[in-house]
Amino acid sequence: MSPRSDAVVRRASVAIAPPEAERGGPDDRALVRALVAGEPWAAAAVWNRHAPKVFRIVARVLGPGADAEDLTQDVFVSVFSKVPGLRDPDALGSFIVSVTLRMLKWELRRRRVRRILHFAESAELPEQAVEPVDSEAREALGRLYAILDTLNADDRTVFVLRHMEGMSLPEIAEAARVSLATVKRRLSRATELVSSRVEHDASLAGYYKKGTARDEP
C-alpha cells in the first residue's frame, strides 16, 4: 500500500523541518515489525517519517523535468514489498535510501535514452525540487543540471547526495551499497568535471561554490 494524501505530499515537497514522526513515535524496528504484521497504520507512519527525505533526494538528483511525486510513490511501493526480507530492521532508513538510489539509477538511464532518441524531458525546473529562488538563481540551477546530465548515473547521484543533500561519504557508501573508496572515486570524477564546466561562468560558479559541501567525510 502506498499512502496518497495532498497534505503529505505538500509536507514532502517543502521538506524543511522534520515531521513529527521523525521526532517521536515508534522506532524503525517497531515500524518494520508492524509492516510485516500488516498493521494498517504502519505504512502511513513509514511514509510520514521517510518520504520527505526521499522526495528531496529524487527532486535534487533528477532536477529539471522530474516528476518527484510519482517516483517517490514508486519507491515506497517497492520498499513495502521488500520489507519482509529486510535483515536489519534498524537499518530501515538506509534501506529506503538504497531503494531510492536504485530507482534513480534506472530513471536516469531511461532519461538518457530518451534524449538520445530526441525525446528529451522538458527543461522547465520543477518548483518542488528546491527552495524558492529568484530568476537568476533558477537559470543558474538549470545550467548546473545541464552539466549534471553529462555525468553517468552513479557519479551524478553521488555528486548530488554529497554537494546538494549534504550526506557524508560513509552515509552515501552505505546507501549505495558500495565501498567508501568507490564513492570517493565517483565524487572526485563528478566534482572535477562539474568544476571545469562552471569555472568560466561567474554566476553559476558562485552558486556552485555556495551550494556544495566539502569533500571530506
Do 90 and 55 share a structural domain?
yes
Question: Cα(20)–Cα(73) distance, rounded to whole angstroms?
Answer: 20
Task: Write down the pLDDT at residue 93.
Answer: 93
Do 216 and 192 share a structural domain?
yes
Residue 193 lies in domain: 133-217
Dihedral of CA atoms 88, 94, 100, 105 in degrees, nearest 10, equals -100
Do 156 and 99 share a structural domain?
no
Last residue of a domain, one of 92, 125, 158: 125
What is the per-residue pLDDT across 164-183, written as a single tens digit (0 to 9) for each?
A: 888 999 999 999 999 999 99
What would the grid cell of residue 99 be?
A: 531503494
Do 14 and 51 share a structural domain?
yes
Other C-beta atoms closer than 10 Å to the C-beta of 97 total 24
Other C-beta atoms closer than 10 Å to the C-beta of 202 total 10
Residues of the chain short of pLDDT 50, as ranges, are 1-23, 116-132, 211, 217
- Comparing CA positions, the residue from 175, 132, 131, 138 lying closest to residue 157 is 175
Last residue of a domain, one of 104, 125, 146: 125
In the chain, how long is the greatest CA-to-CA distance?
57
Task: Write down the pLDDT at residue 159.
Answer: 92
What is the per-residue pLDDT across 123-164, written as a single tens digit (0 to 9) for each?
A: 444 444 444 456 766 777 778 888 888 899 999 999 999 988
DSSP string covering the chain: -----HHHHHHHHH--S--HHHHSSS-HHHHHHHHHTT-TTHHHHHHHHHHHHHHHHHHHHH-TT--HHHHHHHHHHHHHHHGGG-S-GGGHHHHHHHHHHHHHHHHHHHHHHHHHTT-PPP-PPPGGGSS---HHHHHHHHHHHHHHTTS-HHHHHHHHHHHTS---HHHHHHHHTS-HHHHHHHHHHHHHHHHHHHTT-HHHHHHHHHHPPPS--
How many structural domains compose the chain?
2
Task: Write down the pLDDT at residue 163.
Answer: 86
Do 201 and 103 share a structural domain?
no
Task: Write down the pLDDT at residue 205.
Answer: 66
Question: Cα(52)–Cα(10) distance, rounded to whole angstroms?
Answer: 9
For 167, list phi and psi in degrees, rounded to 5: -75, 150
Do 52 and 116 share a structural domain?
yes
Alpha-carbon dihedral sign for residues 49, 55, 58, 60:
negative
Last residue of a domain, one of 90, 105, 125: 125
